[in-house]
Structure 1
Amino acid sequence: MAEARFSHDQFRCPVCLDLLKDPVTIPCGHSYCMSCIKQCWNQEDQRRDYSCPECRQTFRPRPALKKSTMLAEVVEKMKITECKTAVPAGPGDVKCDVCTGRKHKAIKSCLVCLNSFCQNHLEQHENLFKGKRHDLMDATRYLQKMICSKHKKLLDIFCRSDQSCICMLCMVDKHKNHDTVSTVAERTEKQKHLGDTQRKYQQQIKKRKKKLSELKEAVKIHKHSAQTAVEDSERIFDKLIRFIKGRRSEVTQMIRDQEKTVVSQAEALMKQLEKEIDQMRSINDELEQLSQTHNHIHFLQSYLSLPVPPGSPDVPKITERSFDKVGKSVSRLRQELEDFCTEDIEKLSGRENCHNSLVSEVGYLEGFLPDPREDMTDYGLCSFSPTLHKSSGRGPEGLH
């Protein structure tokens, strides 16, 4: 019941802002952690005047300190209640620097005290320094990086000569006579350049999206053209099945190989562009977060390591060449074969002679279709350019 009637604030040490540990009450009535008040009075030993950090009442001689058992019991209950209600810090959270034992999630960082505070300790911080200007910012895990390792001061100056963040003492020491400005001023200047860099990334993303769209459309057209060529070739080869059944599959395979080569190359390019777009989006998101951060020091330190935006993508075009040459070549072959066979059949006087003549002519048919090993470079990435071997007389010359 006693716990419900009092606020946690009444049982916090004014020095460390945490719940009292080994509480003692000094003559003026204020209570402190025994270690905190001892540390304060040890610093006053030379003056031999011992004062209360809260009300500044002085005592002489140094009062004897004795642990308050009843107050310690109440504080212990307060700690149990606070542990149940406070938000514990997770793996990615900034931890409160004041909490003892299990750390709670910090919500603000003080640039004067150089500490991060959870909700409970932030209230104590504000009450303790009421009327005093303490700059607060959203809790950041970069707080230690914002402090000068040598002077333990805030890095609120930017040295343009050395391109680094420094503190006030560094400015009058190692960086004397250097070109220095405040981090706020340098942030304002760098923010403009960051905007230009971000726009370049956005432009490159748009260009890659356009190239990706063009490649997809080119592949679609190429597939359609290849399918049409295959169907035309199949239809023509059906009429010549008795003569060129074996060669039909070779021509079909050549077309499919060409399609596969072009499509596989285009798909590899598309995959690369998609990967680059994802990477650039990720970098652009980081740039967006960096552009909105209120932490000037983190901004400047991160800005110095920004990657250089890439140039325009070098993507070869897929030439929109059709497979008309394949169809025309096979059509000419069919017509020449029909004319050739018709002429031979009319000259034959008997059925047996006609059969023997056709059998002998089948050997010549191989020369009318191109060798699948011939060069196929007339079409974009890979092409098929058949030619018909014409000759005077009954059959092709030079085919063997």
Structure 2
Amino acid sequence: MSAASCLLTEDQFLCSICLDVFTDPVTIPCGHNFCKSCITIHWDKNVPCHCPNCKEVFNTRPELKVNTFISKMAAQFRQSAQQKASSSSSEQQVSKPGEVPCDDCTGTKLKALKSCLVRLASYCETHLEPHLTKSGLKRHQLIDPVENLEGRMCTKHDKLLELFCKTDQMCVCMLCSVLDHKTHDVVPLKEEYEGKKAELGKTDAEIQQMIQKRRLKIQEMKRSVELSKKEADREIAAGVQVFTALKKSVERSQAELIDTIKEKQRKTENQAEGFIKELEQEISELKKRSSEVEQLSQSEDHLHLLQSFPSLNAAPPTKNWTGVSVRPPSYEGTVVRAVNQLEETLSKQMKKAELKRVQQYAADVTLDPDTAHPKLILSDDGKQVNCGHPKKNLPDNPERFDSYVYVLAKQSFSSGRFYYEVQVKEKTDWVLGVARESINKKGRITPTLQDGYWTIYLMNENVYGAFSDPPVFFSLKCQPEKVGVFVDYEEGLVSFYDVDAAALIYSFTGCCFTQKLYPYFCPCNNAGGKNSAPLIISPFSHTDVLNTVDYYQAIRSLCSRVVHFPHFTK
């Protein structure tokens, strides 16, 4: 029996109806073998009786008898398979909660490796083998193990859901496709699966891209926070130093103020002590004279009294104390004057420190000859410009101003902060500021906000103003000889400074910059030589610019100077 079983293939032990090892195998007249129960049920449903394999029809239903030889062979094969499954079960993983168990395992359930969509069952490694080796089972569709395989059957027709209705966006069976979805767009599940899988691939790529963007944004934010923390720590440290120095300065000023007041009091006390000492000395002299007069008045010697009378009759010489007094010193206004002077000095130094703060953004600015009006004369280094006469014969390129004596810088700025200084000494008229990239350079132009300019000007030697909306005029204590221009692109700020006075002249705030900005210069006409002085862009070196720490050091310098108050008097 063992030798005979070795000559048979495993396919010969499987019923073609149930696709399992024979149970009570029977042989029908055509020679094919089936499980007795499988062929009986088949013939009960199908009349006339025929062979499921070769389709031979039997007019009379054959009598079924168990083939004992095949039955013994099948039993031996089943036993061999069970022993093989038993020996390999120790090597396979036992099904754990949450994992799909093998439906064919008896006793301990092993973990299923695949699920069959035809048999609607899940199999471990051992029970899966027939599906991998038997020709009849290889055609079955296997998937990763899943639970509730019944859910893959059509609830209406009890058929496998193997089609997809694109019209109703649902899975259907073969009967659904010819009955309920007859006119619909129905495709095989695999086709729709491939399409949806491709869509999911695109979706996943988009999601991954979104994730990457957000990771980059997180990194950017973390870097910003890190930089902010470093800046905050630096500012706190510098601020603590400033206020510590300022506190010490105020304490020293307070001590000096107290010393000043005490010095006044000491002078008053010394004056009073001098007067008292002098008075006490006069009192002593008067007491001595009183004693002498008393003795003389008691004398019985007529001659002695008469001879001594002229010298003792009058009081000794003394000071007239009628108008003499000691007045307490007045301290009114002493503290107020000290505080006012401290505030004034602090304000001046703060202005200087603020100017130094913006000067750290100094940019190297040079004039662009391609934009200069033909009347303008530019220096070789591009740092000076004044108005000459007559016009030069220059190409009228699209970037050149043709009606007004304007010129732009070569450099443009579209983010961050920048600063530059222009000497305006000995000029009677000028216009300075910044202009956006899209300004009109031909014909009539006014450097106003509406036309894309942020500028201030000097007119007729003493009229200062800003081309704002509405126009603004302002007076300055002194005429600036050097003007600083500072721009904070993101903040929307353009500020102008009197560099020598360290004073803010004017600021445009709340600006909305969307284009490149160019430094703008207008030396104005030379007015017959009266306004012939050039506009000069001041050079900057690293030693000219203070960083934020230097800014606070300037304040600390103030603290060291503020302590030297004068002695305050009324």
| TM superposition score normalised by structure 1 | 0.48
More strand by share: 2
More helix by share: 1
| TM superposition score normalised by structure 2 | 0.36
Larger Rg: 2
